[in-house]
Structure 1
Amino acid sequence: MLINFISVCVSTGSLFLTKRNTAVNQAIHYETSATKTYKMNAAIHSMLPEVFFSLCFRFNLASINDSDVGLKTDLITINPSQIRFKNLEQNPDPLVERVSVYGNASLAIPAFAYTFCTGQSIKTLKVLHPIRPQQPVAFFSPIYLRTLDRFWKGRGLKSIRLSTGFMLINTALELCEDVHVYGFWPFDTDLQDIPVPYHYYDQMKPHRYMHKMPEEFVRLLQLHSQGALTLHLQPCSSDTR
């Protein structure tokens, strides 16, 4: 299964839109629509990264610290719904402060998942590019994500959309020889029957219909049993952060 997956997706050069794989005036097809497109203009193209490669992935602007979850971050994803800063272009400081805690980690946004994601994502790119050029903003390639979605739907995973964590774990399997997964737990209680939140850093509840994380978890267990990745389900020791 892993060999088939790699031959289908090959994300190394296509996971994100870059200057190398995207042209000015190219029609960008949305991940979730067969008809809607976005025409890449020269201004946005000039702000795309040249190439992209990362090691430690974190998701949805997750909080970091030096006590349990650790600080190392090479890439952090942002859900466009999290960009709720008022007058962002006139007052970018709250956003800049929010992302600067990750150092120079790249920021990844699904700008072309749905049409309503595009405007806020591009605004974020325009705001951050001149202020924090050392912290690239990258847009997920909708072609790659659509290919990944079709791959798993063809293997029985029928969610509306794959979770961000599951997407990036798949990517890590392509890019890395040794993949360790922490914090992917789709249940209300842990192995000791202690309640655990959906996100460790907020009280958000999972969407009832969007993702099928228990089914994703089963796939990860299968990959773990095959030796393709290591799924960590116990509290982390200090040397794993």
Structure 2
Amino acid sequence: MRGGMRRLFFFMIILLFLGTFLIIFISSILDKNEKEHYRLSSPKKVPPQSTNSCKDCKDQREIKKLIERYSKPWKKQEGNYQKFRSQLSNKCHGYDKAIITQANTPVGTKLVYDGEKKRTLQVTTEIFSTFAEGHPFSNKTLHTCAVVGNGGILANSSCGNMIDSAQFVIRCNLPPLSDGYEKHVGNHTDLVTANPSILLEKFGGLMGRRRPFVESLQKYGNSLLLIPAFSYGHNTPVSLRTFYTIEDFGSPTRPVFFNPEYLQSLERFWRSKGLSNVKPHRDNPHLKVNFLSSVSSNNHKENTKKDTDCDFLPWGKQDESQTFRSQLSTTCHGLDKAIITQENTPLESKLVYDGEKGSAIKVTPEIFNTFAKRNPFSNKTLHTCAVVGNGGILFNSSCGKMIDSAQFVIRCNLPPLSNGYEKHVGSKTDLVTANPSILIKKYKSLNKDQQIFVENLQVYGNSLLLLPAFSYRVNTPLSLRAFHATEDFKSPIQTVFLNPEYLKDLDHFWASQGVKAKRLSSGIMMVSLAMELCANVHLYGFWPFSFHPRDRHFLTNHYYDDEKGTGNFHSMSAEFFLMLQLHSQGILRLHLDDCNQ
């Protein structure tokens, strides 16, 4: 038995040895074959393919040409240089005219805006005092100038020392110079430009706290700060505020203004050199401007000796008013389409909700009977419209008589007009809007309290009550109840509904002007209607900030309460700034001052 176990043990050892040998032998053969196969069939390396195919071929060819041209040896050609410099100087007279001074632009001069050829501004004593007293440049020709753009090519360029070695360094649009950028862009600055759009975007148009702006200028030392104050109407107030801010805080930076006459000469010169598509740069006020977010309610008390706002500058109606009004009318057809009538919306029509694009409602006889029988607006253009917002700026404004003097007065969202408010907001009303949210909140969706609702409408007389009945489905039954309530209690007010097709056209029009919002506010809707209805449009109570533009005193959200809006449904700051731009272009009149001043 013991011998048998021993033989079995040795037999298993031999099998294990043979098995191991066979595994090693087979593995070596397979490995050799695999290496040979890899050597014979290994694919050739293929360069990576461009994901853009030939999409950018044209740009690449242009860049190649530019590099070839740039790579040629450079040498200053004195004859060519002097000839070109002489031509530029003879055409533009930049040394004498580029910057406005008290010597070249005396009191009483009429400045013609280079970006708005039909807009002018007479130099008053106050404006004159902001001009440079003496010429900022010496008579001596400098040896070397460095003009520093802000292109990404400067990143990691190590050009800082070379830039700073220039005798005169010009920088564009308030660029950063610290945080490690010094090595690549330097910090020597003799002149720096500032587009007003930057002042609006980064510093809230200097309407609130101004110290951060002045502190940001420290890196430019006692350089000149050059601003195109008279290129466009909306540039002027922010440029003057810049001057006063620097003066107030004793900054060593010296603000100076481009001469619009020089810029016009410059444009003609470069056109003659083949730059046929050159246009004066227009600071776009809608470009990422969140005016409201730049100014908080806690910073409105920054003191300044002087202040200037667009409303406080001389205003005159411009020829652009008719052009803009025509564009608006051609796109939106407000006089015919703004209000639903039995003529423009017949029985069986399908109304598509403008706030819910996938929803529609068919006009039944019951709904049709609630529509105005005819257009409530006459074909005759009215002389003056007043559109009255509810901003806190109207509180103690004494604007009541001025508002009531308008031929047609539009008010928004059922505002209070009694209890002493008449002096400041007036009482005359020809059209008043009502947001369904107000009917829900104040009148319990008109499921009850209908008589109270109608009694409260008495303050608006026999005006039109305008409701967005077909913007959202939830609005429709509520708006129909409002109509029936005014009918049942024999109110002299006439209930009418906004046409959702008009609102869609209006949304497209203002989007093309830079207003991007989930929904336009009632205010801008009524301003739009007024611009088609009236030859002269005046706005009151449109100021979405918590401080007064004149003396910075605190303002409530509305002239009658301080209740804040919820969410970001409307783009109030963008809408306001667009109104400010239209004001500066003489298209409408925005009132931001007390009316008794």
Q: Does 1:172 align with 2:561?
A: no
Aligned residue pair count? 238
Please say if 1:187 is aligned against 2:510.
Answer: no
CA shift at 1:154, angstroms? 2.4
Query: Counterparts of 1:1-241 in structure 2 under 5 Å?
Result: 2=324, 3-49=326-372, 50-53=374-377, 55-65=408-418, 66-84=422-440, 85-86=443-444, 88=446, 91-132=449-490, 134-191=492-549, 192-237=551-596
8 A Cα contact 1:89 1:127, kept in partner: no
Deviation sequence 1:142-176 (CA, Å, 0-9, x none): 11111111111123211111111111101111110
Sequence identity (%):
35
Displacement of 1:22: 1.1
* Runs of 4+ residues over 6 Å off in structure 1: none
Compute the displacement of 1:43 (Å). 2.1
3-state SS of 2:425 partner: coil
Larger Rg: 2
Return closer, same or farther for 1:38/1:225 CA change in 2, 3 Å cut-off: same
Task: Provide closer, same or farther for how the CA distance between residues 27 and 133 of structure 1 changes in structure 2, counting only shifts above 3 A.
Answer: farther
Cα deviation, residue 132, structure 1: 2.9
Counterpart amino acid of 1:160?
K
Question: Structure 2 counterpart of 1:52, which letter?
Answer: P
**Bigger CA drift: 79-88 or 228-237?**
79-88
Cα pair distance change 1:87/1:205, threshold 3 Å? closer
- 1:157–1:215 CA contact under 8 A, matched in 2: yes
Distance 2:347 2:482 in 1: 20
> Is the 1:29–1:142 Cα contact (8 Å) retained in structure 2?
yes
C-alpha distance in structure 2 between counterparts of 1:215 and 1:182, whole Å: 17
Tell me, yes or no, if the aligned pair for 1:47 and 1:129 is still in contact at 8 Å. Answer: no
Shift of 1:90: 5.8
Q: Which moved more, 1:189-198 or 1:174-183?
A: 189-198
The offset of 1:87, in angstroms, is 8.0
Counterparts in 2 of 1:87 and 1:171: CA distance versus 1, 3 Å: closer
RMSD: 1.9
SS in 1 for 2:454: helix
Query: Any stretches of 5+ residues in structure 1 without a counterpart?
Result: none
- Tell me if structure 1 keeps the 8 A contact 2:370–2:480: no
Q: Flag the 1:11–1:93 CA change in 2: closer, same or farther, 3 A.
A: same
Structure (1/2) with the larger helix percentage: 2
What do residues 72-95 of structure 1 show as CA deviations (whole Å, max 9, x unaligned)? 000110010111324836652111
Corresponding residue SS for 1:31? coil
Q: What is the Cα deviation at residue 16 of structure 1?
A: 0.8
Give the equivalent residue in structure 1 for 2:73: none
Which range moves more in the overlay, 42-51 or 134-143? 42-51
